[in-house]
Structure 1
Amino acid sequence: MRDKMANWTSRDDAMVEDAIRRGANRRELLKMMLMGGVALTAGTAILGRAGAAFAATPNKGGHLKVAGFSASTADTLDPAKASNATDYSRICALYNRLTFIDGSGQTVMELADSIESTDAKVWTVKLRKGVTFHEGQSLTAKDVAYSLMRHLDPAVGSKVNALAKQFEGVKAVDDLTAEITLVAPNADLPTILALHHFMIVADGTSDFSKGNGTGPFLLKEFQPGVRSIMTRNDNYWKGTGPYVDTFEFFAISDESARLNAVLSGDIHVGANLNPRSMRIIEGNSAVAPFVSKLGTYTNLNIRLDMAPGDKAGVVEGFKYLVNRETIQKSVLRGLAEIANDQPVPSWNPYFNAELKQREFDPERAKSLFQKAGVLGQEIHMVASEAASSSLDYAAVIQQAAGKIGLNIVIDRVPSDGFWSNNWLKDAVGFGNINARPTPDIMFSLLYQSDAAWNESRFKSPKFDAMLLEARGMLDQAKRKEIYGQMQAMVSNEAGTVIPAFQSNLDGVSPKLKGLVANPLGGMMGYTLAEHVWIEA
């Protein structure tokens, strides 16, 4: 039973808290934990901890300071263009979505009162009454129609254009009813609408500098690449939260400096810390770890349309050259699960458990590189602090490469501008992908042939057709079978090397309360500012 307890995380605590909120009694909660393999005595302790968290009385007031890890002049307040944790943290404070994914991973309603369909193709959205934007206008179905359909406009440059292409049309039936018609059925639509990019903005908005949303904070100051300051929305429609008076968000690109800022009390949260920082955190009362088990990963991307990735065997060679166990145990300090070059983690119900794990096999890698004619050549590998742990990943790969005669040069680039200047552009380089709740979303954003974030330029008409087939399928067993085949295709054919799924580590002040892990990312799925309070 000790092993079961070792795997019980803050995310699991969140499941208990959410169940309490939904009215579950003590017997139902203990039964839920026993089914998960938790001992009765341990379950009682967890229940007490979750109950205390739920019952805690939030304090109002204070200035919340949060430091992320990356910022640039490309930072945006336009949800459609958001591309990293920095953008997500700001837009989650200013706007709301139709739906939300809670700490237990369940899709719940937010601005929508209900979303229903009889055929998974035509969906009726009923909006909550009495919701207003910061500038005073009431939320209506026209705002929903505009917010969703603008993702299809090429001029907008939406990061989820590939997902939005599922929208055949969105129209306002009346003030509080919108109708979404899809090109083809998709049973995942309510979950898709919970993604950060699908925040609802006011009808006709083209200037996002004011951050006019329905969210918990009002924008006071925004300097792209520098910082943002927001003040509490006292007319927030939810009636609870936010609790802090003001919220300041900025970036400290150096990880050590970010941790030291928490230790010194200069900030309340240092986001996305390197797992090696656990040694410092565990022995210091001035900072507490906030660990979120996610499907987040840092991956090595080898573009298939550029040298050396356009040579047969090069990508496969890298997949056998990566020592996944070293990355899991040494680089990530055990805060990770070994992965196999596809983006669906083992806890996802659609995970392909039959997909064979790749072993570290440098001799096989050498043979592949030799046939490709790249041994002895310089291969530049771009890494940055902006892509979590990528510098350490690069060092592990470089060391293994040197032993087989592959000359890898690590190009270390600054965090500032990495996402706009390097990611998706370098021939061999790293990315860092936040968790997504469904295979359809992951595949649509990252592997569909025309996806904006197709990191390795993987193109497969067969894969695209399977994506469409599975999307509208109501037979879950068949759907899982298709997603399993697609995972194998990505693992074997795409130019992305995914060594491990990382748990996210944020360093927080012990004075910060109300933290609950969320599957959409660190910092409570980037909604932290709305829910936390500062202990007096």
Structure 2
Amino acid sequence: MTVLKKARGAAVLLAAALTLSACGGSSGESSGDQGKQGAGQFSVALNEPDHLTPGNTSSSYSITVLQALFDTLVVIDSKGQTQMRAAESVTSDDQKTWTIKIKPGQKFHNDEPVTAESFADAWNAAAYGPNAWTNNYYFANIEGYDKLNPEAEGAKPDTDKLSGLKVVDPNTLEVTLTAPFSQFPITLAYTGFAPMPKAAFTDLKAYDQAPIGNGPFALDGAWEHNKQIKLKKFGGYAGARPAKSDSVLVKIYASRDTAYTDLRANKVDLLQTIPPASATEAKKLLGDRFVPTASGTMDYLGFPAFDKRFQSADLRKAISMAIDRQGIVDAVYNGTFKPMASLVAPLVPGYRENACGESCAYDPAKAKALFDKAGGFSGTLNLYFSNADPSYEQWMQAVANQLKQNLGIADIQFRKIPAADYLSTLREKKEDGPFRNNWVMDYPSPQNYLESMWGAGNRMGWDNKQFNDLIAKANSASTMDASIPLYQQAEDVALAEMPMIPLWNWQDQAGYSNKITGVQIDPYSPNLDTITVK
């Protein structure tokens, strides 16, 4: 039996599920709040979230806010271990049917009780195809998902409930999966699995603007788009991590550079992502208030494998070998990021430092020979990226220069897409050239990277039965340890065909002002609840 019970002793830390960065917003502070933080209030710099409904966002900007507003069933602590939060236990005898016991006495911010039905309702809404929520596919391994997402074009589901969810009693939820999956408990740390109150379903669009959660902070007033989001301590919170400050002012910025300037000027108290180019200065300026943190975030270059011009694995490998990863990391990221030859981040169990071998090693001569063998490339090579951060364009320019110099591709154009439209461009497969792809780890498992990024419905339009079969076997393994060799075999298959190449692993640098203490940033969360205002 797999049993995960409530952690005792020190308070458990907040879980993370940092996903694909998506949105930017206009720079700014509300003039009425600038320099007028209240007693017990601190400020956090952030880009504009896309949504604030847990099931409908994978943006890291949104998730920072959601982690303050919601308690998930489990969390991942600073050591990467699963601990209980809203759940008392998550158990299974066969890894397929799971029983989740909810801790009694928990409340939403509108005083509704948090029950098993609160989770079932939220998961059904996310899994219901017509809602078109971002996190829909996270529920694909629960029985009945196919009924909510019929494959026939234009077909409408005849149900809006997952048959694999059974509310046994107010504090017990039974979940039946389509196949055994020993890592199911760790997935529940992701904010996409957070509960929703009954009040949400009277108007889901309104709820997205004013979410009602069950976490230590509640929304305080309207979400002022591209300006700010105010949070206040929730007095009725009964969980393990009561807020240590009265309120949080989330200031929305268009760029990290502007946010860093404000951090230096003490106009904002916490910045989770100091621009790499400013890291050396920030370390000297902030001292022990500069917090470097290992990250699960990865950047990749994906190929539209559905386009016949990119269907050659040799062509894709040639492009990989023509890219000087270390040179770009040094020039664009001040040497702070780590060049990668693996599809998963070093934090992840089963990581292999050189899984890719020579296909990810910079070798212009071999790259050109392989490029010629593949028949080369004619016409315009379009490179796609979003405008969410200036560094994206900088490294794409470096890639373009290297492809021109090392492979002789003369006509390269840039397709810079507004951040709010970028993910939909990839989902709808509108790209006709290589594209920046990014993954922010939801939970520390190879499955989170491999199945999510290379599995069914991937953005490259790549499909490989051997890969899919290996992932299915790994998911059904009895333990994480037993699954690792199978995930590694699946990674080898993906690397052999290279529909998407690894580039580098982010290394995060956070910083905070001298107005706050208790900052506990780890790879999984900023832990806003632990912060105290001096």
Partner secondary structure for residue 284 of structure 2: coil
CA distance in structure 1 between the aligned counterparts of 2:116 and 2:481, rounded to whole angstroms: 36
- RMSD, aligned α-carbons: 2.8
* 1:414 Cα offset (Å): 4.8
Q: 1:417 to 1:284 in 2, by over 3 A?
A: farther
Partner secondary structure for residue 262 of structure 2: helix
Aligned residue in 2 for 1:406: 409
* 1:534 Cα offset (Å): 2.2
Aligned match of 1:444 in 436, 451, 475? 451
Alignment deviations for residues 343-395 of structure 1 (CA, whole Å, 9 cap, x no partner): x2334332246724321012222234344555563312123452684233223
Aligned residue in 2 for 1:8: none
CA distance in structure 2 between the aligned counterparts of 1:250 and 1:425, rounded to whole angstroms: 33
Aligned residue in 1 for 2:355: 355
Contact 2:11 2:240 in 1 (8 A): no
Contact 1:298 1:388 in 2 (8 A): no
The answer to which of 384-393 and 486-495 deviates more is 384-393
Are residue 178 (structure 1) and residue 173 (structure 2) matched?
yes
Q: 1:139 to 1:514 in 2, by over 3 A?
A: same
Partner secondary structure for residue 432 of structure 1: strand
Contact 1:336 1:500 in 2 (8 A): yes
Aligned residue in 1 for 2:154: none
Q: TM-score, normalised by structure 1?
A: 0.80
The answer to which of 126-135 and 312-321 deviates more is 312-321
The answer to which of 106-115 and 248-257 deviates more is 248-257
The code of the aligned residue for 2:478 comes to: L
Q: 1:416 to 1:178 in 2, by over 3 A?
A: closer
* 1:492 Cα offset (Å): 2.5
CA distance in structure 2 between the aligned counterparts of 1:83 and 1:464, rounded to whole angstroms: 23
Are residue 21 (structure 1) and residue 31 (structure 2) matched?
no
Are residue 305 (structure 1) and residue 297 (structure 2) matched?
no
- Aligned pair count reads 470
Partner secondary structure for residue 392 of structure 1: helix
CA distance in structure 2 between the aligned counterparts of 1:382 and 1:476, rounded to whole angstroms: 36
Alignment deviations for residues 226-246 of structure 1 (CA, whole Å, 9 cap, x no partner): 432222212111265312322
CA distance in structure 1 between the aligned counterparts of 2:481 and 2:270, rounded to whole angstroms: 42
Q: 1:307 to 1:332 in 2, by over 3 A?
A: farther
Aligned match of 2:83 in 103, 108, 121? 108
- Superposed, 1:102-141 pairs within 5 Å as 102-141=77-116
Contact 2:183 2:479 in 1 (8 A): no
CA distance in structure 2 between the aligned counterparts of 1:296 and 1:466, rounded to whole angstroms: 24
Contact 2:385 2:422 in 1 (8 A): no
Contact 1:382 1:412 in 2 (8 A): yes
CA distance in structure 1 between the aligned counterparts of 2:512 and 2:288, rounded to whole angstroms: 6
Q: 1:476 to 1:422 in 2, by over 3 A?
A: closer
Partner secondary structure for residue 171 of structure 1: strand
The code of the aligned residue for 1:441 comes to: N
CA distance in structure 2 between the aligned counterparts of 1:240 and 1:152, rounded to whole angstroms: 29
Partner secondary structure for residue 126 of structure 1: strand
CA distance in structure 2 between the aligned counterparts of 1:307 and 1:232, rounded to whole angstroms: 55
Q: 1:414 to 1:67 in 2, by over 3 A?
A: farther
* 1:215 Cα offset (Å): 1.3
CA distance in structure 1 between the aligned counterparts of 2:474 and 2:461, rounded to whole angstroms: 22
CA distance in structure 1 between the aligned counterparts of 2:313 and 2:498, rounded to whole angstroms: 12
Are residue 292 (structure 1) and residue 270 (structure 2) matched?
no
Aligned match of 1:516 in 509, 513, 520? 520
Aligned match of 2:371 in 363, 369, 372? 369
Aligned residue in 1 for 2:395: 393
Contact 2:319 2:403 in 1 (8 A): no
Alignment deviations for residues 392-426 of structure 1 (CA, whole Å, 9 cap, x no partner): 32233122222232233334445454444567643
Aligned match of 1:491 in 489, 492, 495? 495
The code of the aligned residue for 2:468 comes to: D
Contact 1:387 1:430 in 2 (8 A): no
The code of the aligned residue for 1:406 comes to: I
- Superposed, 1:312-391 pairs within 5 Å as 313-342=314-343, 344-352=344-352, 355-357=355-357, 358-375=360-377, 377-384=379-386, 386=388, 389-391=391-393
The code of the aligned residue for 1:335 comes to: T
Alignment deviations for residues 100-135 of structure 1 (CA, whole Å, 9 cap, x no partner): 111111111010011111111111111111101111
Q: 1:341 to 1:379 in 2, by over 3 A?
A: farther
Q: TM-score, normalised by structure 2?
A: 0.80
Alignment deviations for residues 429-457 of structure 1 (CA, whole Å, 9 cap, x no partner): 2132112311122223211122xxx2322
CA distance in structure 1 between the aligned counterparts of 2:496 and 2:243, rounded to whole angstroms: 46
Aligned residue in 1 for 2:30: none
Contact 1:100 1:194 in 2 (8 A): yes
Partner secondary structure for residue 403 of structure 1: helix
Aligned match of 1:86 in 61, 78, 83? 61
- Superposed, 1:195-214 pairs within 5 Å as 195-203=190-198, 205-206=200-201, 207=204, 208=207, 209-214=209-214
Are residue 533 (structure 1) and residue 532 (structure 2) matched?
yes
CA distance in structure 1 between the aligned counterparts of 2:53 and 2:79, rounded to whole angstroms: 28
The code of the aligned residue for 1:104 comes to: K
Q: 1:312 to 1:180 in 2, by over 3 A?
A: closer
Unaligned runs of 5+ in 1: 1-17, 24-59
Aligned match of 1:187 in 170, 182, 200? 182
Partner secondary structure for residue 496 of structure 2: helix
Contact 1:76 1:224 in 2 (8 A): no
